[in-house]
Structure 1
């Protein structure tokens, strides 16, 4: 029974890493497509206008839509940058759980604005898997940094033990 635990952790780590990289690649595609298409203020204004009087847009989105309408240039730059940043963080496995949480939040924001794209449900499921599988960053920067910290702590403990003896 004890031997199956490492195999289970490895399996969960691989599943989490696969979900993490998959959603990261989807975010990179989203952001790069926006950059290539010249996404900007006009697109944000269109989104803000499309939410007015739309019965599918929840009441709580109205203040954000109003703010988007007042600063479309800012949102036109920030949204593709956010998508690319999420993609890079997730693919690299850096700040994995934070990036997965922000991924879900961003997708919920898009859904609230009635911006429904076919891959968004899959992206939510993949992001949720990354959040639920706490070892999703094991084979990424998070895992590497964790190993370096553990090595440094062990080296410090070993060194301090020598001085005490």
Structure 2
């Protein structure tokens, strides 16, 4: 295969320095190689401007995927360390129903029913609260709330809203958050 490559181009491919700045033997180091990180924002290469080493965004859009999303979040905390990772749950579509606080929904029979149906068990609400207490953020798409006729005031108090979940997803990905979808 390398013969075909060399025949196609007539020369050996150039040697490219690796990500960690090591250079292949025989490759001269020049100023361009040494300064190729100059195009990155200051501090990104060594994470000095980040409060957490790792950042992940868990997009939950199906209520039946909450257990999997929570399990993944707990695995991330266990494997990487709670203080090393920042987790954000971005909740859209029908999964927003799960964040209705049963205590707040008791004043409205429809909201109470939505909350009861969304919470398969009290364990789910307990797990969500536990993740919040561990430092996770929960963001809900206001457009999804409107679509499912849910008043934002009926959600758990620690949940924040954004106008559109899609915009939040793109914004966080561009800020360096890993994207996990459930």
Q: Find the structure with the greater CA-based Rg.
A: 2
Which structure features the higher share of helix residues?
Answer: 1
Which structure features the higher share of strand residues?
Answer: 2
Which gives a bigger RCO, structure 1 or 2 (Cα 8 Å, sep 6+)? 1
TM-score > 0.5, shorter chain as reference: no
Give TM-score scaled by structure 2 length: 0.28
Give TM-score scaled by structure 1 length: 0.30
